[in-house]
Every structure is written in structure tokens, then in C-alpha cells.
Chain A
Amino acid sequence: MSARTDVANHEGTRERAARATTSLKTVTTRTQGARLAKVGGVVVLTGLIAGCAKNAPQDTFQPRGTNAERINDLALPVFYIAGVVGVIVLGVIAWTVMRYRDRGQPIPVQTHGKPALEIALTILPALILIGVAIPTVGTVMALNDTDDTECVVNVTGQQWWWEFDYPVQDGCMPGGITEPIVTSGQMAIPVDTNVLIRGTSRDVIHSFWIPRLNGKRDMVPGRVHNLRMQANEPGLYAGQCAEFCGLSHANMRMEVAALTQDGFNRWAANQLEAYESPVEGTVAADGESAFVTNCSSCHQVNGLEAADGNPIISRPDVGVYPGAAPNLTNLMTRTDFAGASWSLLREECRKEVWEAEPDQFTDRYLEGVTDDCFNEVDLREWLRNAPAKKPMYADPTKLAETGGLYRGMPYLALSEDQIDLLLAYLLERK
């Protein structure tokens, strides 16, 4: 099996089943060396299975935005051409191997070649490739155009999570964004809007990749790279850091939540709502002081005040390598945490969000993490011992090389009672 099988399936629709069959035949033929006779049955069967498949959320052949569609429209014909060429070449090889096996024929003419044939067979692939090259150049240029930007999001990679901040601007929503918004793990964008990602990194090279919306772009420390992003319909689009970035590269994921314009406005307004301390005497209120004691030196919660009335500004750069930790002001408006690697929602609620129909997605997503949907298990384990759940260089004592500068959340030796308090407090961060 090869790539070509996928191509067909990703179309997703029944109308294209016929094309699926063709391309599957291509593949099977290629790998088996043109055993056309057997292929028919396999093709039909595979086609049926493919029709029912629910592909992976990072499937590269299900574009849901103009940029990814552009790539897809360019890539698919190339796959088809490669498939056809492959079938022909491997067919000829198979035929040659069958036809000219030694059956006692005399020693063949010692021909050294036919230059005319050679030249023709050199020019032919060159022509095909010129045909591929021209639209390629056009698409490369189009995908780098930034003139049509309607909304800017700054994206910063850090071992091993993504930060998204929305600078003050006229774009993104009517009236624009009036105060900076900082979030992580999940990036909210309005649908049908040309978003421009301005990306960089605080430590090593990461790569931002939401397959259904666009190809990937490395985010390099010291440089700012542009990446266009646009979603045609509301939904949650999965992505993953694609450039190897060290120990927990596998646990550096991210999602784009595409919301209706109205939904995005509500999301933004909620992010900027003033902080409200938990009601006196509740568990969450005790949680607030536990948070101030244990967490707020690294994790910012906007509006949180110390006993003396001064705002608490987290200063993680004292001990943390790149100098930042995720902002937790609105943690429960996101559906996962720790580099989008663990869910804040119970499995059934998680499915609900991921599988919501486009017209219902925005409302479902904006519900955030409700009390009955809250998945306590993973967050509790995380608070208990983060480095045990996600490999990180989080032990300062073992990092002489960096002067003890660690990264990732260290083991905090919290008691179960403290964890209970913190969970109650965090659950109110909506």
C-alpha cells in the first residue's frame, strides 16, 4: 500500500468512490508488480472499507480551509500523475521480467542502446515535470501572500507547548481586539477570516502544523515566520509540533478552534472579563491561596492580587529556561492542557466537542469545561507529578549544564488536599 490509497479516501464523499477505486488499483498494482487479475476484488473491498473510515484528525487530505485546499488541489493531481507513471513503469518492468525470462533463447544482440529512444525517454519525464512545476510555483507564491490578512495571532513555541497571543488590532472582530489576549494550547479564530500567524520560538525550533488548515511552518527562535490560516467551517482542528524539539516532542500538540464570528466575539469578550475571586468560604477560595503559594510564580492568572493588593505578575524566568509558563486565566475555556496532550473533558464530552456538527460546534465549545464534564483524573495526576506524566527537563538539580535552569513543570510535592483545593480553584477559571 502506498500514499495513493489515502488520496482517494480523503475525499470522503460517495461521489468520489469511483476515483478511489482507480487509485487503489494503482497502488496494489505497483507494489505487487502488476498482478492485475487478483486486484479487482481487493479494490472493491478496500473501497468499501475506505468509505466507512473516519480518518485521523490530522489527515492531510481533508482540507477545511482555503490554504489547505490550495495545497490539496495541487497535490492530488501530482499523486495521480505519479500513480499513473508508476503503473506504467512497473507494468513495463513486470512485463519485461515475464517476457524475457531465460527460456533457452540464444544470446541476444549485444546492442548498446538507441540514442533517439533514450533522448525521447529523457524529454518525456522532463515535460511532465515542467507541467508540475508551473502550478507549483504559482501555489508557493499564493500561499505566501499576506496582503489579505484580516486578523493577526502571534504564536510562540516553547518546549513543549504553544502560546497564542492576540495583539491589540482592528482586525479579528468588529471593533477589533482592544486588550491583548494570551492563551495556550488551543487557538481560537473566527471562521472565513484570513488569519495571519506570526510565529517564533523561545528555545529550539518548533513547527506549527494544522493539517486541515495549512501546511507546516517552522517557528525558529530569533526569527518571525508568517503562516496563513483560514477555516471554512466551525470546528476543532488538530495539529502537532512537527519539528523534532527535544525530549517531549511527542507531547507538543495544539488545536485551532474555529468559531463563528459571533462566537469568536463572545470568546474574546470572555477572555477579557475582569477577574473575580472565588466566593469567600468555598473550597475554591482556599484554592486561590494555594494557587498563589504554589503556582503563581510561573503561571499568570490575570487580575489575581496578593494580600497587599498588588497584582501578582508571574516571573518564571527566575528558574525556567525559556522564561514562561501557560497563562491559566481562562484555563477551563480550553478543552485540554499541558501542550494539548491531556483532555480536561471526560471522554464522552470530549467526543461531543470533537464531533459536533459545524453549526453546533461554536456553542458547544464555548460552554467550556462544565462541572459534570470535567475530567479530574489527568489534571490531578499532572498536579501530583507532572514530569512523571510528560518527560521534561524539570529537575534543576540535574541540569548543571544550564545553571539549573529547568523547563516544564517540576515535581511540586503537593499533598492530595492541596491538589483538591487547586482543582476546585482551576475549575472556576472560565
Chain B
Amino acid sequence: MAIIERPATESPASAETDDMVTATSSYGYLRRPVETTGWRSWAFTVDHKKIGIMYGVVAMFFFVVGGIEAGLIRLQLAGPEGTILSADKYNQMFTMHATTMVFLFVMPMAAAFANYFIPLQIGARDVAFPRLNALSLWLFVAGGLFLNSSWILGGGADGGWFMYAPNSDTPFSPSNGVDFWALGLQITGIASLVGAINLIVTVLNMRAPGMSLMKMPIFTWMAMITQFLLLFAMPVITVALFLLMFQRSFGATFFSVEEGADPLLWQHLFWIFGHPEVYIIVLPAFGIVSEVLPVFSKKPLFGYPFVVFSGAAIGFVGWGVWAHHMFASGLGPVSVAVFSVATMAIAVPTGVKIINWTLTMWGGKLQFTTAMLFAVGLIVQFTIGGLSGVTHAVAPSDTQQTDTYYIVAHFHYVIFGGGVLGLFSGIYYWWPKVFGKKLNESWGKWNFWLMIIGMNLTFGPMHIIGLQGQPRRMYVWTEARAGEGFFNLGMWNLVATIGTFVLGIGILLFFVNALVIHRSQPVAPLDPWDARSLEWLTTSPPKAHNFDRTPTVHALDEVFYRKYEDVGKGDEHDYVQRASLEDLMLEEERHADAHIHLPAPSYWPMVLAVSLPIMAYGVIYTSWLIALGGAIAIAAMFGWALEPADAEDSDFDPPAPGEQTSKELANV
């Protein structure tokens, strides 16, 4: 990418054509890649937009993988004494379903949005550390593929995603599945940590002039709180995973009861990470619907500071509630009481968000696009999940509910209802920004309704199943414990399975919409939704340098106020459109900045990312692979440190005859 000069102050064409040299002669092996087309332009890119898209694509791939696992689980449980999966395979299936959905779908999908839209929303040209950004992506891809390679190397992890000790130790889980799990999550964990630091620095340092924190778009706010949660949560799981790795691979005794260990240590470590993880999952989605609802209500977010502070409050209180996952673990009454009350306390800021979203719509001018439907769907489904959450914040009540399907119902309403629906809302809302065309709205509506009906059919009956006493993680359920009549487990298990397939069809429609129908969609206008925030003040898809002119921000909802003027008098309000986004864009182009500097691509993030799974295979199989992976890692770090800051101008294609600008064209 290198340097973009626009408008060209002089024609560099003739000068550079004469001086063309081949790349290798000037840079040797440390030369930076400059390809602007083909797979290399993606593999070595440091452009936050390309990285965001790749995050999304890979996350969607794992969404399908996790979905297939879910389908198999539900098929097995459709009737009593299911025989589709063996006990062993079933245990692997639910472990990997949860792991895949949490670590390889929802988190990276949120990272996709954060990567793509944080720089655009704050008026920056890229993130603070573009090469680290690429490293995050490739570590996530490497970790995800490594984790799933266990399927063909002896089977997936079988200890549940919570991987309680000592059941995760080798005597109880003799296959290599848990090793793959521990090492794979370690790799994706580095990705999250690197990404978190990168985005925090970006938001704190690279906002456009005038954008104070309280004028920052709400999605960026929520995404930044998420990054802080990641920053503090990831080290905890990292420690836990290291202990597990040493326990299994190197004979350590951190969780060996016969050596005096207390297995509850793992539970505390896991849930100190695991509970903030819940907010890591839902806060980005909350941010997305907090963008979508105002746009389609034609009103600003109601009580923006309250939404910001409630998000921050969730971020803080979220650290003080982990033991509510352990109410049955035998913590003692005082701890249980304290964590019970703390858990109720966190319902308050969460409730504030629901109230604010509702009041945002109140008095608005609501347009039910697919994005809006998903956003409203999130409010409704998350409310149900939140209320069932209150019933097990009550610790004694939770001792009847924990580890039953009631909990499965609860957290799917929270994570699927509060997380995934929000991500889909974001996909429909920002699709035209990223790809220049809208997704088809009628397909989108079918997509939405089938997903909503499907999820309620799937997870709704699980409330009944759980309160009727069916525990989780059982590869079969039996007629003998099923009861009769309306609440019998048989009927509701079957309904849940049918629901899964309705949900599956709904998601399939999304893929058809995105991959097939999308081709014949017309090009969308620059401002398809009459949007309000800064990411719309550029072309769709955005140019490599995001903004021709670094925008100066005067208000929250900057773009709305650039388009509309209030001509009412006194208490009367009358908003008249003064400019279209096309007008605004022309204005931006007329005042485009000169000498925009963009970071150059690099080979090294990918090389470094590849070294980690090699080391991980070494831990499992043979130690010389650790040495090989380590050597690659060191080489990559040196290469990274020593490569030049930019590709030389001469590395780029010469401009086409008659073109005013040179290098920018080479980048499009």
C-alpha cells in the first residue's frame, strides 16, 4: 500500500517510469510485499478492512462447523436412548460445539466488526499496530485449524468446554483431544490479547479531531470495553491452560488430588476468565444494536451516557460474579451469598440497556429492515435470557437448575439471542458499507423469522426439559425419567430437535443470500439506511485510506447533523435534509488530504502465526517440532523487527499513461 498521493501535486509518472528497478535488487529478502491483487494481497495485508473481512469469513466457516456439531447433538437427543453418536463422540461433540461457537465464531465475528468498523467510526486510517492486527487474525486462524485438526488425529476434546479438573487429566481423558484443546485455545488466546491491546491503543489515540470519548459511536465504546475485558481475562485462562498443559504433557500435579491439589483451583481460574467472557461475547452485539436501533428509529440512542456507563459497569461488576457458576461446588454459604447478591447487582446495568433500547424506539419512526428486525429480536430474546438468569442468581434456586437444560436454555437465549442476533443485525446493517451492495431484504426477512422461530423452538423447550430435571451433557436420556403428559421430556426433546433444523434452515438462507442472491443485487447508494455515524462518511466499500479528509467531529451522530438541519423554532423541531451523503462525499474529495501514509503489507505476521501450531504439535507428539516451530518463530520476529518501514516507491507498478495519481491506483 505504501504512500498515497492525492491529489497529485505534480505528475510523478515520468520520473518514476525511468527509475524503475526490480524489487529484489533494493531490498533482498527483507523487502516488503506489495501485491495489490491475488491471494497475496489478502495473505500479507495489514489493512484493517481486509483483515476484518477475513475474520468474518473464517468465523462464519467455524459457525457452520459448530452448527453441524449442534445438529448432531440434537439428533442424538431427539428420542430416548439415541444411537447416532457413541458416548465418546457425543462428549467430544458438545465440548467442541461450545468451544467452536465461543472461541471460533462469536469472538472472532465480534473481532471482525471491531477491526473493520472501529477505525472507520473514529475517523482513523487504520489501527495503531497494523502488523499486530494481521498477527491476531492469523493466530486465530492457526489456532482454530489446529484445534479442529484433533478430529482427524484421534478425536476432539471430551471434557466439556469448562474442562473441569481432574476429569481433564490423562487418566480420565486418555486421547489427545484435551491437549489440542488446551494448546489451540492458547493460540487463539494470544490472538485475542494482541488484538485487544491493538484496538485499545487505536481507540484511545487515533480518534478524529473533535471526537471526545463521549462523542464516540456507541459500538466503538462497547467494543473497547470488550477489549479491556479481554486484556484482563485472557491472562487468567492462559495461566489455567498452561497448568493444564503441564499437568497432561509434563507430569505436573496442579490438579492431582492424590498429591494434595484442590480441583476447585481450576474452576476458579476458568470462571474468572469465563464469566467476563460472557460479556466479551454480548457487549459487541449490544454495541451493534445500539447503532442499528437509532438509525432505523431516526432518533439518537436514548441516554447514550447511561448506555456507556452501564457497559462500563458490566465490565467492572462482571469480575465479581464468577463463582455463580459454582453455587453447587461447595464454596460455603458466605461465598455463595456474596456472589448471589453480586450476580443480582449485574442485572441492573443490563436492564438499563434494555430500557434504553426500548426508549430509543419510543416516539421514533421505525423502519423494519432486516437489521432492525434482528436488533428488536435481540432485545426480546435477551430479555427472556436475562430474566431466567435472575432465577438462578438466586443461589438456592440455582442448585436445582445448574447443570440442567434450564441453564442451556438460559445461556442460549443470552448468547444466541443477545450475541448472535446482534451480529446478524450488524451483518445486514453494514453489508452495503463493506461490499457496496445490500443483502436482499426479502431473503433477509425469511432468514430472520426462521432463525427466531427456530431458536425459540430449540431453546424454549429446554426450559421445560431442565426444570423437569434433565441434566446437561448426557449422551442419552431415558424413558424411565421422562414423565408423562404435557411436560414429558420426550415431546420437548423432539420439539427442540425440530427447532434446531428450522434454525439451521434460517441460517442456510443467510448463506444463500450472501453467496448467491447477493451477486445480482444492485449497487447500493452511499447512504442506504440514512445512517448517523462516521463510518458512512466514505465510499462503499471504503477506500484503502478510509477518508479522503480526516473528518472533524462536532457531535455524536456526526453524519446525521451534517445531513439534517433543525429549522424549527423554540420547542418546535423540524428536521430538513440539507445534504445527501453523495454531496458530503464530494465535499470530502474536494478537500482531500495530500500525502496519506498507509502501512505496508508484511510477510512476518503470517510466518509467526504458523510457527505456533508447529510448536503445539511438538508438545503433543515429538519435541523436535517444538524446536522447529521455535526457530521459525524467532526468525519471524527478527524478520518482523528488521524489515523496512515501507516498501520503496519503486516497488509499485508504474502509473498507467495519463493517470494523475500513481500509487493509489496500484492499490485499488
Residue ranges of A at the interface with B (Cβ–Cβ < 8 Å): 1-3, 5-7, 9-10, 30-31, 33, 46, 49-50, 52-61, 68, 70-71, 74-75, 78-79, 82-83, 85-86, 89-90, 92-93, 96-97, 100-102, 105-115, 117-118, 121-122, 125-126, 129, 132-133, 136-137, 139-141, 143-144, 159, 203-205, 207, 209, 211, 214-218, 220-223, 225, 238, 240-251, 253, 321, 341, 343, 391, 393, 398-402, 405
Complex Cα spacing A69 to B261, Å? 36
Known: A122-B351, A221-B257, A244-B164. 12 other contacts (CB 8 A): A55-B483, A68-B400, A75-B394, A100-B297, A106-B574, A110-B300, A118-B303, A122-B306, A125-B348, A246-B158, A250-B475, A391-B87
Whether A3 pairs with B467 at a CB distance below 8 angstroms is yes
Complex contacts, B257 vs chain A, CB 8 Å: 221-222
Is residue B299 within 8 Å, beta carbon to beta carbon, of the partner chain?
A: yes
Complex Cα spacing A203 to B263, Å? 11
Is residue B440 within 8 Å, beta carbon to beta carbon, of the partner chain?
A: no
Complex Cα spacing A102 to B368, Å? 8
Question: Which of B301, B333, B363, B471 has the largest count of A CB atoms less than 10 A from its CB?
Answer: B471
Complex contacts, A220 vs chain B, CB 8 Å: 262-264, 329-330
Whether B483 pairs with A100 at a CB distance below 8 angstroms is no
Whether A82 pairs with B391 at a CB distance below 8 angstroms is yes
Whether A401 pairs with B171 at a CB distance below 8 angstroms is yes
Complex Cα spacing A413 to B575, Å? 86
Complex Cα spacing A207 to B172, Å? 17
Complex Cα spacing A61 to B354, Å? 30
Is residue B643 within 8 Å, beta carbon to beta carbon, of the partner chain?
A: no
Is residue B235 within 8 Å, beta carbon to beta carbon, of the partner chain?
A: no
From known contacts A5-B464, A85-B387, A207-B403, infer whether A100 and B361 are also in contact, taking CB-CB under 8 Å: yes
Whether B396 pairs with A60 at a CB distance below 8 angstroms is no
Nearest-Cβ distance from residue B29 to partner chain A, whole angstroms: 45
Complex Cα spacing A207 to B267, Å? 14
Q: Which residue of B lies closest to A113 (CB)?
A: B303
Complex contacts, B302 vs chain A, CB 8 Å: 111-113
Q: Which of A209, A238, A244 contacts B472 (CB 8 A)?
A: A244
Q: Which of A93, A204, A249, A399 contacts B166 (CB 8 A)?
A: A204
Nearest-Cβ distance from residue A209 to partner chain B, whole angstroms: 8
Whether A78 pairs with B380 at a CB distance below 8 angstroms is no
Whether B391 pairs with A110 at a CB distance below 8 angstroms is no
- A-B pairs with lowest CB-CB distance, top 5: A58-B469, A215-B399, A53-B485, A56-B483, A250-B474
Q: Which residue of B lies closest to A144 (CB)?
A: B333
Is residue B160 within 8 Å, beta carbon to beta carbon, of the partner chain?
A: yes
Whether B379 pairs with A78 at a CB distance below 8 angstroms is no
Complex contacts, B388 vs chain A, CB 8 Å: 2-3, 82
* 283-329 of chain B: CB within 8 A of chain A: 297-306, 328-329
Whether A211 pairs with B400 at a CB distance below 8 angstroms is yes
Complex contacts, B356 vs chain A, CB 8 Å: 113, 118
Is residue B36 within 8 Å, beta carbon to beta carbon, of the partner chain?
A: no
Is residue B488 within 8 Å, beta carbon to beta carbon, of the partner chain?
A: yes
Complex Cα spacing A243 to B162, Å? 11
What 1/0 mask marks residues of chain B from 463 to 494 whose CB sits below 8 Å from any chain A CB?
11011111111111110111111111100000
Complex contacts, A207 vs chain B, CB 8 Å: 328, 403
From known contacts A1-B461, A57-B481, A78-B390, infer whether A402 and B468 are also in contact, taking CB-CB under 8 Å: no
Is residue B332 within 8 Å, beta carbon to beta carbon, of the partner chain?
A: yes
Complex contacts, B100 vs chain A, CB 8 Å: none
Nearest-Cβ distance from residue B155 to partner chain A, whole angstroms: 12
Whether B463 pairs with A2 at a CB distance below 8 angstroms is yes
Contacts A/B (CB < 8 Å), 26 sampled = A2-B463, A3-B464, A6-B464, A55-B483, A55-B487, A59-B483, A60-B401, A61-B467, A78-B390, A86-B383, A90-B383, A93-B358, A97-B366, A100-B365, A101-B368, A111-B299, A121-B355, A129-B345, A141-B337, A217-B328, A217-B399, A242-B403, A249-B475, A250-B475, A401-B174, A402-B174
Whether A205 pairs with B400 at a CB distance below 8 angstroms is no
Whether A140 pairs with B336 at a CB distance below 8 angstroms is yes
Complex contacts, A214 vs chain B, CB 8 Å: 399
Complex contacts, A78 vs chain B, CB 8 Å: 390-391, 394, 397
Complex Cα spacing A207 to B367, Å? 50
Question: Which of A57, A159, A220, A391 has the largest count of B CB atoms less than 10 A from its CB?
Answer: A220
Q: Which of A86, A96, A401 contacts B170 (CB 8 A)?
A: A401
From known contacts A109-B573, A111-B302, infer whether A60 and B400 are also in contact, taking CB-CB under 8 Å: yes
Whether A242 pairs with B402 at a CB distance below 8 angstroms is yes
Q: Which residue of B lies closest to A204 (CB)?
A: B167
Q: Which of B166, B333, B460 contacts A1 (CB 8 A)?
A: B460
What 1/0 mask marks residues of chain B from 240 to 280 whose CB sits below 8 Å from any chain A CB?
00000000000000000100111110000000000000000
Whether B469 pairs with A217 at a CB distance below 8 angstroms is no
Is residue B628 within 8 Å, beta carbon to beta carbon, of the partner chain?
A: no
Whether B473 pairs with A249 at a CB distance below 8 angstroms is yes
* 147-182 of chain B: CB within 8 A of chain A: 158-160, 164, 166-167, 170-174
Q: Which residue of A lies closest to B556 (CB)?
A: A112
Complex contacts, A122 vs chain B, CB 8 Å: 306, 348, 351-352
Q: Which residue of A lies closest to B336 (CB)?
A: A140
Nearest-Cβ distance from residue A78 to partner chain B, whole angstroms: 5
Complex Cα spacing A100 to B362, Å? 7
Whether A1 pairs with B463 at a CB distance below 8 angstroms is yes
Is residue B406 within 8 Å, beta carbon to beta carbon, of the partner chain?
A: yes
Complex contacts, A253 vs chain B, CB 8 Å: 481
From known contacts A55-B487, A107-B575, infer whether A216 and B400 are also in contact, taking CB-CB under 8 Å: yes
Is residue B404 within 8 Å, beta carbon to beta carbon, of the partner chain?
A: yes
Complex Cα spacing A262 to B115, Å? 71
From known contacts A53-B483, A113-B303, A402-B170, infer whether A205 and B471 are also in contact, taking CB-CB under 8 Å: no
Is residue B61 within 8 Å, beta carbon to beta carbon, of the partner chain?
A: no
Q: Which residue of A lies closest to B571 (CB)?
A: A109
Complex contacts, A223 vs chain B, CB 8 Å: 262, 264, 330
